[in-house]
A and B are shown apart, each in its own frame.
Chain A
Amino acid sequence: MPGGDLLLAFADAVIGADLAALDIARAALAEGLSLAAVSSAAAVAANFTKNDRIANGLGIPTDPVALEGTKELREQLGINDFRSAINTFRHSTAG
């Protein structure tokens, strides 16, 4: 994945508490990908900070189609242990 590490570092920093780390991650992303990639990455990160608050805040379950074929991956990544997982598992046996 081109720039994968840069994107991960930016995602970590933009919602984190270390402003110096964000400045470094932003500059590295601009140099490694492009200036436009910074604003695009910021738009995506911001959008998902919104979506996460809507999903967790309103207790919506994951739609069944998104659960199919992801059981092993969810277990490997520890996603099933998130507090918000119960919003899905209380309606499903797909865990």
Chain B
Amino acid sequence: MTLYAESAYPVRPDLAAAHASQLDQLGAPGTWGSGAQRLAIAAEARTAGYEAGVLEAPADGGVAVEFALPEVARRVVRRNAVSPKDVDQAFYNDALSDGLSDAEYVEIVGIVSRVTNFDVFARGIGVALRPLPAPQPGEPSRERPAAAVMEKAWVPTIPNGPDGGELGAELYGGQPKPYILRALSLVPDELRAHIELEQIQYTRLDRIFDFEYQHHEGLTRPQVEIIAGRVSALNECFY
């Protein structure tokens, strides 16, 4: 049975498989957060959405999360989850001053962004939010890419080209990538997960400039861009 088997609307098998796998992985140790911590981030993002009225609490939300996030982490999760237009550099700097590392901050943003993605999709097709998994034991890897440096984002990123080293070549497929496909590179596993979703839910990256290519059943590329542009305008995303 696929993740969205009860949907009245046809769901791409690759999308259902990717969401199922990535939801399950939220319960596993990540790069800086344990499974329990990562699930607490996901649960906090959902709670913020319920309180803002933009998500509906499901009857089965999954395993109860027992980890208590530090106040600074809760603040970052909540702002990013329900008011991304209000995140600025001062907010980021405050988060670091209050105890988060830059890499922890990046992992939190990556998790909140993906959970929001899963939840908006479920809401869009009219099914309940999928249950969160149980936490898995183990320690986070705490691997920080040596190639990550300050470029033009608030956080360090792995550069395009030779300066990105072997990891950059692997992550970027040997081609220069725009910032939206490099922003999470301080936490490579978050970037990999983001790119996986991008290739399924937006378009194949090797066809991104092919405006005749139709990636989605029932929608042309111009129709896709209508939705993308409207959502980003509502979120006040200049990028």
Kindly state the separation between the CA atoms of A85 and B231 in the bound complex, as whole angstroms: 16
Instruction: Give per-residue flags for B1-24: 1 if the beta carbon is below 8 A from chain A beta carbons, else 0.
Output: 000000111111001000000000
Distance in angstroms from A19 CB to nearest chain B CB is 7
Q: Which of A32-86 contact B (CB under 8 A)?
A: 33-63, 66, 77, 79-80, 82-86
The answer to whether A36 and B218 touch across the interface, beta carbons within 8 angstroms, is: yes
Q: A14-B123, A60-B153, A85-B238 are in contact. Are A51 and B222 (CB under 8 A)?
A: no
The answer to whether B124 and A38 touch across the interface, beta carbons within 8 angstroms, is: yes
Q: A43-B121, A45-B120 are in contact. Are A30 and B9 (CB under 8 A)?
A: yes
The answer to whether B53 and A17 touch across the interface, beta carbons within 8 angstroms, is: yes
Kindly state the separation between the CA atoms of A2 and B222 in the bound complex, as whole angstroms: 10
List chain A residues, Cβ under 8 A from B216. Answer: 36, 40, 43-44
Closest to B123 in A: A14
Residues of B in contact (CB 8 Å), total 72
The answer to whether B87 and A43 touch across the interface, beta carbons within 8 angstroms, is: no
Distance in angstroms from B179 CB to nearest chain A CB is 4
The answer to whether A47 and B117 touch across the interface, beta carbons within 8 angstroms, is: yes
User: Counting CB contacts under 8 A, is B97 at the interface?
Assistant: no
Give the interface residue-count category, chain A: 35 or more
Kindly state the separation between the CA atoms of A1 and B221 in the bound complex, as whole angstroms: 11
Closest to A84 in B: B238
List chain B residues, Cβ under 8 A from A48. Answer: 202, 227-228, 231-232, 235
User: Counting CB contacts under 8 A, is B106 at the interface?
Assistant: yes
The answer to whether A49 and B53 touch across the interface, beta carbons within 8 angstroms, is: no
Kindly state the separation between the CA atoms of A54 and B81 in the bound complex, as whole angstroms: 11
The answer to whether B116 and A50 touch across the interface, beta carbons within 8 angstroms, is: yes
Interface 9-residue window, one of B25-33, B132-140, B167-175, B193-201 = B193-201
The answer to whether A59 and B124 touch across the interface, beta carbons within 8 angstroms, is: no
Q: Which of B222-238 contact A (CB under 8 A)?
A: 222-224, 226-228, 230-238
User: Counting CB contacts under 8 A, is B59 at the interface?
Assistant: no
List chain B residues, Cβ under 8 A from A40. Answer: 216-219, 224
Q: List 14 A-B pairs, Cβ < 8 Å.
A: A7-B223, A11-B230, A12-B234, A44-B216, A46-B117, A49-B231, A51-B198, A51-B232, A53-B116, A55-B238, A56-B236, A60-B182, A61-B239, A62-B239
Q: Name the 4 nearest CB pairs between A and B, nearest first.
A: A42-B124, A59-B154, A37-B218, A36-B218
Binding site for A on B (CB under 8 A): 7-12, 15, 52-54, 56, 80-81, 84-89, 92, 106, 109-110, 112-114, 116-121, 123-126, 152-155, 178-180, 182-184, 194, 197-198, 200-202, 216-219, 222-224, 226-228, 230-239
